[in-house]
């Protein structure tokens, strides 16, 4: 692997000395590091450590709204060289979706996304192709609610139902097993599903009949162990 044919954008979602060491180990391949969706204090620690190693760091703090985080991430990806690879260390559901949406906007520059779940030793590769879908502001807000609030009050669901379009979209999400609703008293619990299923369902929020790219899995520990060798 050489820098001229692969440029990596690395994202990190929590302050973890072990993950920082991994980034520093392969810093010669890294174009920039994003401290994504982190508390301000944690992102400042990450920035201080990585900058001493000559790495460029961009901070996107957790206090920003979904739209702000998506917009900032998208503007960073817009500056990427062609044939770039995005690696997300310590992936969580929120950042996985943010990266996937932002990457489809700039599909001509990004070769693929590699999501690395260091706790479960799972690697998810997302090949990026020209998107044939778009997320409306409603869908973005709905996803934000699902991601940020496992418990959505019944009145919120009732407000969604006031719009036929909104209610149909919720039904689509349920049909595609993106969310499962259970009612306990006055609260609906939206049970989380694996990241891959949510990312796959994202591509079909506005379409029922289109074929989309498959997401490939590898849970072999040797791959994760040797990833930065």
Q: What is the pLDDT of residue 137?
A: 54
Q: What are phi and psi of 36, to 5 degrees?
A: -105, 130
Residues 6+ apart with CB under 8 A from 66: 140, 141, 143, 144, 148
pLDDT recorded at residue 62: 64
pLDDT of residue 52: 92
Q: What is the pTM of this model?
A: 0.55
Whole-angstrom distance, CA of residue 202 vs CA of residue 147 = 13
Q: What angle do CA 202, 158, 184 make, to 5 degrees?
A: 85
pLDDT tens track for 54-107: 998 988 876 666 667 777 888 888 888 777 888 777 655 566 667 766 776 777
- Domain 7-129+213-226 sits in CATH at 3.40.50.10770
User: Please, which pLDDT band fits residue 130 given cuts at 50, 70 and 90?
Assistant: low
Among 15-24, 57-66, 200-209, 210-219, which stretch is predicted with the lowest mean pLDDT?
Answer: 210-219
Q: Cα–chain-centroid distance for residue 14?
A: 14
Q: What is the mean pLDDT of residues 117-139?
A: 58
Domain ranges of the chain: 7-129+213-226, 137-202
| Mean pLDDT for the stretch of residues 3-25 | 74
Q: Mean pLDDT in the chain? A: 62
Query: How far, CA to CA in Å, does 162 sit from each of 32, 121, 144?
Result: 44, 43, 19
Supply 12's token pair.
Answer: 């990190």
Closest to 197 (Cα-Cα) out of 172, 169, 177, 226 = 177
Full strand arrangement of the beta sheet holding 187-191 = 151-153, 187-191, 180-184
**CA 34 to chain centroid:** 12
100-105-107-108 Cα dihedral, nearest 10 degrees: -160
d(CA 7, CA 29): 6
pLDDT digits (tens, 9 = 90+) for 156-207: 444 444 444 444 555 555 555 544 454 444 444 444 444 444 444 444 444 3
């Amino acid at each position: 692997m050489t820098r001229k044919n692969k440029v990596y954008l690395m994202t990190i979602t929590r302050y973890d000395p072990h993950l920082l060491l991994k980034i520093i180990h392969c810093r010669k391949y890294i174009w920039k590091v994003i401290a994504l969706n982190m508390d301000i204090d944690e992102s400042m620690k990450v920035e201080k450590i990585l900058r001493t190693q000559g790495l460029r760091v961009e901070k996107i703090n957790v206090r920003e709204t979904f739209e702000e985080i998506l917009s900032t991430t998208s503007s960073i990806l817009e500056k990427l060289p062609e044939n770039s690879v995005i690696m997300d260390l310590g992936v969580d559901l929120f950042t996985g979706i943010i990266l996937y949406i932002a990457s489809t906007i700039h599909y001509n520059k990004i070769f693929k996304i590699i999501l690395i779940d260091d706790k479960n030793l799972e690697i998810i590769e997302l090949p990026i192709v020209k998107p044939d879908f778009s997320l409306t502001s409603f869908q973005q807000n709905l996803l934000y609610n699902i991601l940020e609030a496992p418990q959505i009050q019944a009145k919120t669901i009732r407000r969604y139902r006031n719009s036929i379009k909104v209610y149909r979209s919720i039904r689509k999400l349920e049909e595609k097993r993106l969310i499962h609703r259970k009612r306990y008293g006055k609260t609906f619990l939206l049970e989380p599903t694996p990241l891959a299923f949510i990312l796959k369902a994202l591509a079909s929020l506005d379409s029922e009949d289109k074929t989309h790219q498959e997401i490939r899995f590898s849970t072999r520990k040797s791959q994760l162990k040797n990833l930065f060798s």
